[in-house]
Amino acid sequence: MNVLVINCGSSSLKFQLINAESEKVLAKGICERIGIDGSLTYQAADGEKIKTAKAMPTHTEAIQYVIDALTDTKTGVVKSLDEIGAVGHRLVHGGEKFASSVIITEEVKKAVEECNDLAPLHNPANLIGVNACEELMPGTTMVAVFDTAFHQTMPEKAYMYGLPYEYYEKYKVRRYGFHGTSHSFVSKRAAEIVGKPYDATKTIVCHLGNGASVCAVLNGKSVDTSMGMTPLEGLVMGTRSGDIDPAILEFLAKKENKDIEGLMKVLNKESGVQGVSGLSSDFRDLTNAAAEGNNRAQIALEVFSYRVAKYVGSYAAAMNGVDNIVFTAGIGENDDKVRAEVCSYLGYLGIEINEEANNTRGKEIELSTPDSKVRVFVIPTNEELAIARETLALVK
Ligand code: ADP
């Protein structure tokens, strides 16, 4: 069965058409600047990448262009919509309502809407994508795959904040975690590689992309993760601050004469390695600048890796040990220096890294030596494939 995977944001929509049995990507692309002017970038497997300007006042036009491209007689990969068996949608926040993927019904959409408060930028946009697909592909099964679902197994002690309990009762203020699809995908793969049952392994996943989080996966279940009620908590990221002393907000509000919106913009968009370096959120730029002697770029890189190492250490404590550590996502898959720096803090766990293995990019590889007490891997994440698998499992 072919599954159309949709990741819909407020002004962009990424898609992949995947044959769920062979797991081959038949075509992929992105619609950008929806509601502004609009463009479609489309690439069939083995075909050229084609970018065309298209008027996209709403997401419905965007999806229509995607369908047109997929069924086009020249560049298309299917003859008609009948060859698309289901659509898998990435939804960001499922709150406490969704601990796994579900087939989308009117009730499911209502329940997702009730989580809008928790992800005001993402959930409404995700739902617009669902509605547009329903309009243009009536009768096709739609599945929701949530970023938060994998972490619903976290115990209370990991998800409760040290805040008055009534905020949890009234508003569901608690830790949820994100990147669940990725953490689940790569931790499963790690168990496969080491040849142990998934439900008998202790794995720590470092998903290090522009947004970044660490997850403790104990016996196949997420027991803790570094992002919280929102993706702002935890690691120092591309432009997000991660953990800070909350009292800094009051201090800066007074000093800089900023309101809460202004401060949230600073924490989300102007902080992280971008804020510390004053240069870039991209690790390639930072590594180059640091090599040329840029001190703040160097500090930003050190702050980033140190925070990752601290989370890995705390999750080894939380699970009373660790069998596998996995690096994934843009930085985790590509940046050998960050990986080496993080591992340099973990000698006490008996970790030994093979430098030559670490000197590779973007492919699955074991970094640890045969003597290492913990096995360390790079495993490329593939959230679209994970969504296609979840979708197939529900539709079958
Ligand atoms: P997201 O999905 O959160 O936008 P990605 O997982 O795509 O993020 O990661 C993007 C980041 O990966 C970039 O900002 C960059 O810092 C880093 N990155 C990508 N390629 C490389 C590379 N070759 N070397 C170092 N860092 C890289």
- Looking up residue 282, the CATH number of its domain turns out to be 3.30.420.40
Give percent of the chain with pLDDT exceeding 70: 100
Is there a domain that residue 237 lies in? yes
Among candidate residues 376, 384, 388, 298, the one with its CA nearest the CA of residue 340? 376
Task: Name the domain boundary from 81, 114, 146.
Answer: 146
Q: What is the mean pLDDT of residues 209-233?
A: 97
| Domain of residue 207, residue span | 196-383
**Ligand 1 atom with minimal separation from the 287 CA:** 25
- pLDDT, residue 315, reads 98
131 with 232, same domain? no
Q: Are 23 and 385 in contact (CB under 8 A)?
A: yes
Residues 108 and 236 both lie in one domain: no
Q: Is residue 45 domain-shared with residue 104, that is, in the same domain?
A: yes
Six-digit token pair at 294? 């840029």
| pLDDT at residue number 292 | 98
318 Cβ contact list (under 8 Å, min separation 6):
158, 216, 223, 224
Q: Report helix, strand and coil shares of the chain as percent, to nearest 5.
A: 45, 20, 35
- Please, are residues 159 and 174 in contact by the beta-carbon 8 Å criterion? yes
C-beta 180 within 6 A of ligand 1 = no
Task: Please count the structural domains in the chain.
Answer: 2
Residue 330 CB coordination number (10 Å): 19
Q: What is the DSSP string of 248-261?
A: HHHHHHHHHT--HH
pLDDT, average across residues 142-155: 98
CA 297 and chain centroid, separation: 25
In a domain, 315, yes or no: yes
> What per-residue confidence (pLDDT) applies to 52?
96
Name 335's Cβ contacts closer than 8 Å, sequence gap at least 6.
208, 283, 287
Tens digit of each residue's pLDDT (9 = 90 or more) over 52-65: 999 999 999 999 99
Rounded distance from Cα 87 to ligand 1 centre (Å): 27
Mean pLDDT, rounded, for 304-332: 98
Q: What mean pLDDT is predicted for residues 22-51? A: 96
| Contact status, residue 66 vs residue 91, Cβ threshold 8 Å | no
23 vs 46: which has the higher pLDDT = 23
User: Tell me: the pLDDT tens digits for 65-118?
Assistant: 999 999 999 999 999 999 999 999 999 999 999 999 999 999 999 999 999 988
Same domain, 237 and 376: yes
List, in sequence order, the alpha helices (H) in the chain. Answer: 59-71, 106-113, 123-136, 156-159, 165-171, 180-194, 247-256, 260-269, 272-277, 283-291, 295-318, 329-334, 336-344, 355-358, 383-395
* Ligand 1 pocket mutation pick from 331, 337, 359, 361 by most atoms within 8 angstroms of CB: 331
Q: What does pTM read for this prediction?
A: 0.96
Please state the rounded mean pLDDT for residues 278-288: 97
Q: What is the mean pLDDT of the segment spanning 115-126? A: 90
The preferred substitution site among 282, 327, 384 for testing ligand 1, maximizing ligand atoms within 8 Å of CB, is 282
Q: What pLDDT, on the 0 to 100 scale, is given for residue 13?
A: 96
- The pLDDT value given to residue 34: 95
Question: Residue 34's Cα: distance from chain center in Å?
Answer: 22
- Region of 179 on the Ramachandran plot (φ > 0 left; ψ -120 to 50 alpha; else beta): left
Assess contact for 240 and 267: CB atoms under 8 A: yes
In a domain, 187, yes or no: no
Same domain membership, residue 358 and residue 279: yes
**Separation of CA 209 and ligand 1 centre (Å):** 5
Looking at the fold, whether 205 and 142 belong to one and the same domain comes out as no
Q: Are residues 361 and 221 in the same domain?
A: yes
Q: Is 394 domain-assigned?
A: no
Please report how many Cα atoms fall inside a 13 Å half-sphere around the Cα of residue 107, on the Cβ side: 4
Rg for the chain, CA atoms, rounded: 21
Residue 121 lies in a domain: yes
* 333-348 confidence digits (pLDDT tens): 999 999 999 999 999 9
pLDDT of residue 121: 85
The string of pLDDT tens digits covering residues 245-265 is 999 999 999 999 999 999 999
Instruction: Please check the confidence at residue 120 and state whether its pLDDT lies above 90.
Output: no
Residues 142 and 201 both lie in one domain: no
The residue to which tokens 């309502």 are assigned: 97
Lowest mean pLDDT across 110-119, 156-165, 269-278: 110-119
Indicate if 130 and 263 belong to the same structural domain.
no
Q: Give me the chain's average pLDDT, please.
A: 97
68 catalytic, yes or no? no
